[in-house]
Chain A
Amino acid sequence: MTINRIDQLFRERKGEILSVYVTAGYPGLNDTGRLLEALQEYGADMVEIGIPFSDPLADGPVIQQSSQVALRNGMKLDLLFSQLKEIRATVEIPLLLMGYLNPVLQMGMEEFLSRCKDTGIDGVIIPDLPPAEYETRYRELFRSYGIYYSLLITPHTDNERIDRIAALSEGFLYLVAEASTTGARDSVGDHQKEYFQRLREMNLPVPGLIGFGISNRETFLTACSYARGAIIGSAFIRALGENNALTLEERVEKFIRGIRGA
């Protein structure tokens, strides 16, 4: 069997792994493919493609709003798969789908995974699927399609549960930086550093990526000093909505350069 692109990434790149979150169908209905290509070109290591949902209750205002725009544009899960049909002709970096459980259930988990596989999706994140239900109901199915599943932990997750979740997580573990909804923040606080330090000492079986609140070069570098890399969502979505004089590709370039410091 071929190696999963996520594993390959973590094998090849030791630090400062940059994963970027985009909302499918935002800012324009047909922008997602272009964005993935640009993100790869300007140096993102991995992309999480958000499936827009009418009721994103773990998200802050920026991602909420982008989801609403995407739905109004006409984005649907079925359409997203059609749009991404040829994506592997041009994009080689690992791609994940991240979405709430309900749209996935309406498509049917098996159909969803089958289309992930056909599209060349490497991993999936479903924040409101309970880990225990994933384990008993879906884990085998994910395995049979060769799709990785990554789970989340937060500063309030106790060590025993962290161990259990990390053991289920494939590719990487999503380290939510703060007990909060998604959204960009300016700094990483002391209590968060303590949590990251604690995680480092736990020697988890999968590498971690820090997400939620990472917004600029400074917070990115802080995150990278505690984990293999970081995930940027709201700050990128906001950058896409600004700088309207630039092309989409130029907006991506400007943003990634800001993070990479190049």
Chain B
Amino acid sequence: MGFEVDSGGFYGEYGGAYIPEMLYPNIKELEDNYMNIVSSDSFQSKFRLLLRDYAGRPTPLFRAERLSDHYGTQIFLKREDLNHTGAHKINNTIGQILLAGHLEKKRIIAETGAGQHGVAAATVCALTGMECIVYMGALDVERQAPNVKKMKMLGAKVIPVYSGNKTLKDATNEAIRDWINHPVDTHYIIGSVVGPHPYPDMVTRFQSVISEEIRIQLMEKTNRNYPDYLVACVGGGSNAAGAYYHYLEDDRVRLISAEAAGLGVGSGKTAATSLIGTPGIIHGSRTLLMQDDDGQIEEPYSISAGLDYPGVGPLHAWLAKSGRAILYAITDDEALQAAFLCTRKEGIIPALETAHALAALEKINPGAEDVVVVNLSGRGDKDMEIYIDKLNLSDDDKQD
């Protein structure tokens, strides 16, 4: 079974470019050029240099001894949290800003939910002197004030979006509308492996540096270049796509995707898209999404803003449908417990998104000799308010 995108932009039955004609020239320009540009030596040398000297790659693969003892297996953490700006998101924004330069674009737009991608986009715009406009749901602007301030300090203009439910889905709509209205000078840096073809494939390629490094690092540490289990959280699916990429066709590797169950898969307050979603079109892509019987897209819920998306990248829809990836839905509480465990056992405070991947360790039952790699997609600085809030609650519980 193939997991590379086909010439029409599909993974199996998912993907494609379901866009209005107004957007066609923009997408066509990208589609015609991205492969040539991205595979050229001049692009690759600039990309590799920035990943190394600016983002701080390669990120370490860390043998987590105490977590391994706890679960009775061999756990390695791929430390994407140690990237500049604190998550894997920068791998993609570096790639896309270089691409935008090759296409002679003058203006960058991006969407953001929690603000992680917005900060990563604003960062590379500051680095290259590009104008940067970030669309962010008005509700998220309120909830994620520190990242809004960071983006502003970096020189980006943050535009609050008041349409729809005022969150990530609506910010993405608004970024697409901006792009429709600026078809010539603007590049849209999308934040995950979502949207119309060629975005899912392009972003996957930029993130694939993660699995490229895992192969080399595992060889050094375990004498073989693949794990038995590879675990990642899936919002849109970019960190997972990057961690899986070089193992997609390698059946020795079990791919474990952790989705956000929110308050529970059946609770109506969830973001477990692959599990409860049905096929449809969102943001120009045919994929699995949360919708009602009238085809209206529903608002997801998760404690983690970065997983709070009603769709999923078409590659992940295909991995789920074909059975290549095994999915677990992780509730808010399970994620919080996993975050606290990782913090106490390893001295690493993970992002709330990442905590969902860590919580999947409770579910998979690996053997003592098995090698488990968890993609530690980001650090928890941005989530301290929630963590502190929950910690205080459990302290109070004890005093009662």
User: Which residues of A does B touch, CB under 8 Å?
Assistant: 53-61, 64-65, 68, 71, 76-78, 100-107, 127-130, 133, 151-154, 156-157, 161, 165, 176, 179-181
B19 at the interface (CB under 8 A from A): yes
List chain B positions with a Cβ less than 8 A from chain A: 16-25, 163-164, 169-170, 173, 176-177, 180-181, 183, 279-284, 291, 293-297
CB distance from B159 to the nearest CB of A (A): 13
A2 and B183 CA atoms in complex are apart in Å by 42
Interface centre among A152, A153, A154 (most CB of B within 10 A): A154
- Residues from chain B with a CB closer than 8 A to the CB of A128 are 18-20, 281, 284
A64 x B163 contact (CB < 8 A): yes
Tell me the complex Cα distance, A232–B163, Å.
Answer: 22
Beta-carbon contact of B294 and A130 below 8 Å:
no
Q: Report how far A127 CA is from B281 CA in the complex, Å.
A: 13
On whether the beta carbons of B181 and A181 are closer than 8 Å, the reply is yes
Report Cα–Cα, A106/B177, bound state, in Å: 24
Report the nearest B residue to A60, measured CB to CB. B177
Which residues of A are found within 8 Å of B296, using beta-carbon distances? 53-54, 71, 103
Please report the C-alpha to C-alpha distance between residue A130 and residue B183 in the assembled complex, in whole angstroms.
18
Q: With A and B bound together, what is the CA distance between A61 and B291 in angstroms?
A: 23
Whether B22 lies near A176 (C-beta < 8 A) is yes
Question: Does the CB pair B295–A105 fall under 8 Å?
Answer: yes
A180:B22 contact, CB within 8 angstroms: yes
Assess whether B176 is in contact with A57, with CB atoms less than 8 Å apart: yes
Quote the shortest CB–CB distance from B18 to chain A (angstroms). Answer: 5
Q: Nearest-CB distance from B19 to chain A (Å)? A: 6
B131 to chain A, nearest CB (A): 19
B contact residues around A107 at 8 Å (CB): 295
Residues of A within 8 A of B18 (CB): 101, 128-130
Which residues of the partner chain B approach A55 to less than 8 Å between Cβ atoms?
164, 169-170, 173, 282-283, 297
Are A151 and B180 interface neighbours, CB within 8 A? no
B281 and A100 contacting across the interface, CB-CB below 8 Å: yes
Task: Say yes or no: A58-B20 contact (C-beta < 8 A), given A77-B295, A102-B291.
Answer: yes
Q: How far is the CB of B292 from chain A (nearest CB, A)?
A: 8
Q: Is the CB of A127 within 8 A of B21?
A: yes
Q: Once the chains are docked, how many angstroms separate the CA of A119 from the CA of B49?
A: 62
Assess the B17–A130 pair: CB atoms within 8 A: yes
Number of A-B contacts (CB under 8 A): 105
User: Ordered nearest first, which 4 A-B pairs have the shortest CB separation?
Assistant: A103-B295, A106-B295, A127-B20, A58-B20
Among A58, A61, A100, chain B packs the most CB atoms within 10 A around the CB of A58
Nearest CB on A from B17, distance (A): 7
Closest to A132 in B: B8
Task: A64-B163, A103-B294 are known; give 17 further A-B pairs, CB within 8 A.
Answer: A55-B282, A57-B176, A57-B177, A58-B22, A60-B177, A61-B163, A65-B163, A68-B163, A76-B294, A102-B295, A104-B295, A105-B281, A130-B17, A176-B22, A179-B25, A179-B181, A179-B183
Nearest Cβ on chain A to B14's Cβ, whole angstroms:
13
**A54 to B: closest C-beta gap in Å:** 4
Please indicate the chain B residues that have their CB under 8 angstroms from the CB of A153 in the complex: 21
A152–B17 CA distance with the chains assembled, in angstroms: 16
Residue contact B295 to A152, C-beta cutoff 8 Å: no
**Docked CA distance A106–B291 (Å):** 9
CA distance A56 to B22 in the complex (A): 13
Which B residues are CB-close (under 8 A) to A157?
21, 24-25
A161 to B28, CA, bound (A): 12
Q: Check A152–B20 contact: CB distance below 8 A.
A: yes
A102 to B41, CA, bound (A): 41
Contact across chains for A151 and B21 when beta carbons are under 8 A apart: yes
CB <8 Å contact, B180 and A181 = yes
Closest CB-CB distance, A155 to chain B, in whole Å? 9
Contact (Cβ within 8 A) A154 B21: yes
Indicate if the CB atoms of B180 and A179 lie closer than 8 Å. Answer: yes
CB neighbours (8 Å) of B21 from chain A are 127, 151-154, 157, 165, 176
Q: Tell which of A61, A65, A102, A165 touches B297, judged by Cβ atoms closer than 8 Å.
A: A102
What B residues does A176 contact at CB under 8 A? 21-22
Shortest B36–chain A CB gap in Å is 20
A129→B280 CA distance, assembly (Å): 12
Residues on the A chain within 8 Å of B283, using CB: 55, 57
Residues of A within 8 A of B17 (CB): 130
Say whether A102 contacts B180, CB under 8 Å. no
Nearest A residue (CB) for B298: A54
Closest to A153 in B: B21
Complex interface: chain B residues within 8 A of A129 (CB):
18
Are B164 and A68 in touch, CB under 8 angstroms? yes
A180 neighbours in B (Cβ, 8 Å)? 22, 180-181
In the assembled complex, the Cα of A102 lies from the Cα of B279 at a distance in Å of: 9
Most buried by A among B181, B284, B296: B296
Closest Cβ neighbor of B177 among chain A residues = A181
15 A-B pairs in the complex with CB atoms less than 8 angstroms apart: A55-B283, A58-B177, A60-B177, A68-B164, A78-B294, A102-B280, A102-B282, A102-B291, A105-B295, A106-B293, A129-B18, A130-B16, A156-B22, A161-B24, A180-B181
Tell me the nearest residue of chain A to B173, going by C-beta. A57
Query: Across the two chains, which residue of chain B brings its CB closest to A58?
Result: B20
B295 contacts across to A, CB distance below 8 A: 53, 77, 102-107
CA A153 – CA B169 in complex, angstroms? 27
Cβ contacts under 8 Å, B163 to chain A: 61, 64-65, 68
**In this complex, which of B24, B169, B170 has the most chain A Cβ atoms within 10 angstroms of its Cβ?**
B24
Are the C-beta atoms of A156 and B25 separated by less than 8 Å?
Answer: yes
Contacts A57-B173, A57-B177: A181 and B22 contacting too (C-beta < 8 A)? yes
Cα distance A66–B163 in the bound complex, in angstroms:
11
